[in-house]
Chains A and B, each alone.
Chain A
Amino acid sequence: SQQGEEDPQALSIQEGENATMNCSYKTSINNLQWYRQNSGRGLVHLILIRSNEREKHSGRLRVTLDTSKKSSSLLITASRAADTASYFCATDNQAGTALIFGKGTTLSVSS
Chain B
Amino acid sequence: DAGITQSPRHKVTETGTPVTLRCHQTENHRYMYWYRQDPGHGLRLIHYSYGVKDTDKGEVSDGYSVSRSKTEDFLLTLESATSSQTSVYFCATEKGGAFDTQYFGPGTRLTVL
Contact = CB atoms under 8 A, between A and B. Distances in A.
Contacts of A44: 104
A96 B98 contact: yes
B104 to A, nearest CB: 3
A13 interface: no
10 contacts: A33-B102, A35-B104, A42-B1, A43-B90, A45-B101, A88-B42, A90-B102, A98-B45, A98-B58, A103-B40
A98 B101 contact: no
Contacts of B98: 30, 92, 96-98
A31 interface: yes
Interface in A1-35: 1-2, 30-31, 33, 35
Interface residues of A, number: 25
A98 B93 CA distance: 12
Interface of B: 1, 4, 33, 35, 40-45, 48, 56, 58-59, 90, 92, 98-107
Contact of A98 (B40, B41, B48): B48
Interface in A86-111: 88, 90, 92, 96-104
Nearest to B40: A103
Contacts of B99: 30-31, 92, 99
A61 interface: no
Nearest to B101: A45
A41 interface: yes
A103 B103 contact: no
A92 B100 CA distance: 10
A44 B1 CA distance: 8
